[in-house]
Structures are given as C-alpha cells and as structure tokens.
Amino acid sequence: MIGAIEAGGTKFVCAVGNPDGTIIDSTAFPTTTPDDTLAKVEAFFAKHPIEKLGVGAFGPINLRAGSENYGMIEKTPKIPWRYYPLMEELEKRLSVPVAIQTDVVVASMGEYEYGIGKHAASCLYITVGTGIGAGLVQDGKAFQGRNHSEMGHVLLQKHPDDAFEGACPSHGSCLEGLAAGPAIEARYGIKGAELADEDHVWELEAYYLAQAIMDYFVILSPEKIILGGGVMKQEKLYPMIREKFMELLNDYIEVEDVEALIVAPALNDEQGVKGCIALAAKS
C-alpha cells in the first residue's frame, strides 16, 4: 500500500491506495500547528501501514536538489510552519521513504497518470483559486528546475478597461494579482460566486488566464493544459479562455483541437491525492 498526503495550507488530506490509483481509505482535517497536524497524520497511518509515501505540499518549499534542507517549508505567511522540515519529520515519524512535490505538481501528476492527461506526453495543471499555481509533468516526471515553479506570478498586459491595480503584494499585476479569487473580490467588492451572471467579469478573467496560458504554451509546449481550482467552477470560462487563447496565439503555432488542449480536470478534486500515490509509486 502507498500513502498519500495532500498537505494544504487549510487542510490535510491523508489517504492510502494502490499504484493503479484506487483509494482505499482517506481522511481530512484542518491544518493547525505542525505538531498537532502531524500527530493526526501518524494516527491515520498507524491504522494503515504503508511502504512509501507521496506528499503534495503547500509552499514555498525547498525542492533544491542536494540541499540539506530539502523538503522544508520555507518563508510561508503561516508562521508555525515557517522553516518546518516537513519531509524529514514525515520520514522520521512514519519510517518510510517520502517523495515530495508541490500541491500543483502532484495534481498534474494525478491527471497525467489516471485522469484527462492519461495519454499525453506532457501535462500542465493550473489551479485558479485563492492563489494561482501550475505544475508540469513531462514524460511522466515532475518538471523541476533549481526549485519549484511559481507560475502564477507571470506578468500580464493589463486589459485597457481594467482599472484594478492588481492584488499581488509582490508584483501587482501578475496573473495571481489579477485573476485569483481574492483579485476578483477586490476588483468588484463582491465574491466571485455572487458574480456568476456578470458576463463581463468572466470575459476579463478569461482574458488574463488566456494570456498566461499563451506564455506557458510558447515556453513549455505542453500537450494538455488542465484548468482546475475553485474559480474554474464557473464552467463558462472554458470556452471563453479557449477563444481568447486562439486569438492571442494568432495561428503562430498550429493547434489542431483547442478543446482537447485546454480542458477541465477529470478526477473530481482527487487529482492531488492520486498524484501523491503516483509520485510515490514512481520513486
């Protein structure tokens, strides 16, 4: 049996499953202090012995090859977790090998192994929610540079009709600053869910997401681009994003079927935990 932990900033999901992606049992609890949270992790895996563990963690996290602090949470605004050696603690407490990646990379891995990206050579998973992040799986492996990507922070051209300055404290009008859930709320003073019928809101949202996807596409050339996360529950965004993406690309690179390129996830919010299983199975 393989263990999985989706270690999110708000909640932890623990699961056990098989390499084929079947989940046998799972549990979820709020993320509190490291000690309290990891005690609950230990209790779950005490009932479910595992051979190895895959973890998808909130960030920033140290994934620098060869670093002595590999697998440590870095300068997060969640103070109790700042510089917490998550991977090392899990290895010590559970006495199994641990493979760790970011939450978005494991989501990408899940969709690549068991979901909509199953037969693709490369798979980019973008989550659009409280923040925006993206993870790439290329030829079955997590893409990993010097450290993990921070793709939500690409800089965008402002829409001429958008007076909002952007909500990212570091970059203002980067993708996350213009298009994450809190940016929508800050721009209109109303939560995104209550703006469902305001087409102009989603036209603007699609404009920014399409621009970022254009950048990801010319840089990474992924075969599948999967858009998930809370904001993407507005399903009308998908056709809007596809249309604007094709306009921006302007036939510069041939796209045979944009509906097969830019897609919704297939795993019903289980891509993260299933991706952890896949990550551990491959390690």
Taking CB under 8 A as the rule, does residue 246 contact a copy of itself? Answer: no
Instruction: For helices 34-47 and 86-94, give the axis angle rounded to 10 degrees.
Output: 40
Taking CB under 8 A as the rule, does residue 234 contact a copy of itself? Answer: no
Q: How far apart are CA 183 and CA 130, in angstroms?
A: 9
Judged by beta carbon, residue 47 or residue 146, the one nearer a copy of itself is: 146
Taking CB under 8 A as the rule, does residue 266 contact a copy of itself? Answer: no
Taking CB under 8 A as the rule, does residue 149 contact a copy of itself? Answer: yes
Judged by beta carbon, residue 3 or residue 56, the one nearer a copy of itself is: 56
Minimum CB–partner distance for residue 45 and a copy of itself (Å): 31
Judged by beta carbon, residue 68 or residue 251, the one nearer a copy of itself is: 251
- C-alpha closest to that of 51 among 120, 116, 1: 1
User: Can you say whether the dihedral through the CA atoms of 124, 165, 159, 190 is positive or negative?
Assistant: positive
Judged by beta carbon, residue 2 or residue 263, the one nearer a copy of itself is: 263
Minimum CB–partner distance for residue 209 and a copy of itself (Å): 13
Number of residues that bind a copy of itself (CB under 8 A): 40
Contact 50, 277 (CB under 8 A): no
3-state secondary structure of 174: strand
CB atoms within 10 A of CB 191: 11
Q: How far apart are CA 241 and CA 258, in angstroms?
A: 10
Taking CB under 8 A as the rule, does residue 143 contact a copy of itself? Answer: yes
Judged by beta carbon, residue 111 or residue 270, the one nearer a copy of itself is: 111
Judged by beta carbon, residue 87 or residue 213, the one nearer a copy of itself is: 213
3-state secondary structure of 125: strand
Burial state string for 246-283 with b = 16 or more CB within 10 A and e = fewer than 16: bebbeeeeebeebeebbbebbbeebbbbbbbbbbbbee
Judged by beta carbon, residue 26 or residue 147, the one nearer a copy of itself is: 147
Burial state string for 161-171 with b = 16 or more CB within 10 A and e = fewer than 16: eeebebbbeeb
Stretch that binds a copy of itself, among 107-115, 218-226, 233-241, 262-270 (CB under 8 A): 218-226
Q: Which of 88, 89, 91, 150 binds a copy of itself (CB under 8 A)?
A: 150
Q: Which of 37, 101, 102, 138 binds a copy of itself (CB under 8 A)?
A: 138
For 218, counting Cβ atoms within 10 Å of its Cβ (0-12 exposed, 13-18 middle, 19+ buried), the class is exposed
Taking CB under 8 A as the rule, does residue 215 contact a copy of itself? Answer: yes
Q: Which of 4, 151, 262, 277 binds a copy of itself (CB under 8 A)?
A: 151
Interface residues with a copy of itself (CB under 8 A)? 60, 65, 121-122, 138, 143-158, 170-171, 173, 211, 214-216, 218-223, 248-253
